[in-house]
Amino acid sequence: MLLKLTGALILSVTGFFAGCSMSKKLYTRRDFLKSFIVFLSALATNIRYNSSDIYTLTRLSAHSSGLEIMSLDDLEDGSPFEEQWEHRVAVACSKKQLSKVDRELMLEFGSQLGKTDTQGQLSHLELYKSVFVKQLSSAEEEISKKSKLYKTMGFFVGSVIALMMI
């Protein structure tokens, strides 16, 4: 009997931690979007006051915002910026649990980056900054709706399975 109770407790706790893991993914997305918005602001500042190429500007902005989208080895690669951007977005999306919409927006953003004059780039950045602020708002709303639900459901599913065992 003690073995069954121990197993039931372990199942309940495991379900709860599975729910916590799902909840953490929501927070990871939110934190990435916050960092990306800071990156966009830093990039706008660097474009305005720095005359370097888009590779350098992106790397500097990513470094100053704590968002490592572009790294030094990309610069040595020699491939076009858009290809490098797509690769970095794919890596970010897999690590940070970003939604399909987030991915598409980031790809659209990167496809036009560095292709117009300074004023065009600043307008482009401002547009996407407002879009990502809406995405951030959506992520925070999703956290408030689903975070407790995931934890509670994880615990209850684990408990139901434990009760079925007993």
**What pLDDT score does 4 carry?**
78
Note the helical H segments in 50-117. 54-65, 72-77, 81-96, 100-112
The stretches of the chain forming alpha helices (DSSP H) are 2-49, 54-65, 72-77, 81-96, 100-112, 118-165
| Rounded Cα distance, 136 and 50, in Å | 28
Residue 92 to residue 57: CA distance in whole angstroms = 19
3-state secondary structure of 66: coil
The reported pTM is: 0.83
Q: pLDDT-derived band of residue 20, with 50, 70 and 90 as boundaries?
A: confident
Taking the domains of the chain in order of start, what are their residue ranges?
28-150
What average pLDDT does range 75-90 have in this prediction?
80
pLDDT of residue 74: 58
Q: Which range, 23-32, 74-83, 145-154, is most confident?
A: 23-32
Structure confidence at residue 9 (pLDDT): 78
pLDDT score, position 134? 96
pLDDT mean over 42-68: 87
Q: What is the pLDDT of residues 101-112, one digit of tens each?
A: 999 999 999 998
Tell whether the model's pLDDT for residue 117 goes beyond 60. Answer: yes
On average, the pLDDT of the chain sits at 85
First-to-last C-alpha distance (Å) of the chain: 9
Task: Output the CA–CA distances (angstroms, integers) from residue 94 to 6, 32, 89, 100, 161, in the order listed.
Answer: 36, 12, 9, 11, 31
Q: How confident is the model at residue 73 (pLDDT cuts 50, 70, 90)?
A: low
Query: With contact defined as beta carbons under 8 Å apart, do 46 and 60 qualify?
Result: yes
C-alpha–C-alpha distance, residues 15 and 21, integer Å: 10
User: pLDDT-derived band of residue 63, with 50, 70 and 90 as boundaries?
Assistant: confident
